[in-house]
């Protein structure tokens, strides 16, 4: 699984960070999401899937490899 972020779509809500803090963070200057681990381990799949599902801007996506 690979995580992709469409940065221009991000509205800095922080929902991804709440759902999967080991995979996402936010920039201090504007709150835009940052992907800390583009290929997170399998045990984080559920958290990452939730983060993608609850993103209000649909700025995140999972790509199965």
Q: What is the pLDDT of residues 2-27, one digit of tens each?
A: 999 999 999 999 999 999 999 999 99
Q: Would you tell me which CATH number, out of the four given (3.40.50.2300, 3.40.50.720, 3.90.550.10, 3.30.70.20), belongs to the domain 2-63?
A: 3.30.70.20
Average pLDDT over the chain reads 97
Domains of the chain, residue spans: 2-63
33 neighbors 17 (Cβ within 8 angstroms): yes
- Give the Cα separation of 57 and 52 in Å (integer): 10
Q: Which residues make beta-bridge pairs with 35?
A: 24
Find the helix or strand (DSSP H, E) in which 2 lies. strand 2-5
- Give the Cα separation of 12 and 24 in Å (integer): 12
Block residue for tokens 């221009």: 8
pTM of this structure: 0.94
Q: What is the pLDDT of residues 34-57, one digit of tens each?
A: 999 999 999 999 999 999 999 999
User: What pLDDT is recorded for position 65?
Assistant: 80
């Amino acid at each position: 699984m690979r995580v992709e972020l469409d940065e221009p779509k991000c509205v800095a809500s922080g929902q991804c960070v709440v759902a999967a803090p080991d995979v996402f963070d936010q920039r201090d200057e504007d709150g835009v999401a940052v992907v800390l681990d583009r290929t997170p381990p399998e045990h984080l799949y559920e958290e990452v899937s939730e983060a993608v599902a609850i993103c209000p801007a649909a700025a995140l996506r999972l790509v199965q490899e």
